Amino acid sequence: MTSTPNEEPTLADVIEKLDKLSSDSEKFNDRFSNYQQATQWVVQLAFTLIASATITIIITSVLRK
C-alpha cells in the first residue's frame, strides 16, 4: 500500500498563482473596458439616428406647409 505524500504549496507556488490571477484580472479589465467603449458607441449611434430622424420629420413637415 503506497500513499502519496500530501504536498504543501511552496511560497513560489503561491507567488506564481498570484501573478497568474493578476494577469487574468488585467485581461478582464481590458475586456470590460472594450465592452464599455463599444456600448457607449452603440448608444451614441442610436441617439444620433433618433435625432436625425426627428429633425428630418420636423423639416419635411415644415417645408410641406
pLDDT class of 1 with cuts at 50, 70, 90: low
Tell me the per-residue pLDDT of 28-41, one tens digit each, with 9 for 90 and over: 999 999 999 999 99
Q: What is the pTM of this model?
A: 0.61
3-29 pLDDT, tens digit per residue, is: 666 788 899 999 999 999 998 999 999
- Which pLDDT does position 55 carry in this prediction? 97
Q: What is the pLDDT of residue 7?
A: 84
Residue ranges in the chain assigned as alpha helix (H): 11-64
Cell of 1: 500500500
Please give the Cα distance from 32 to 38 (Å, whole number): 10
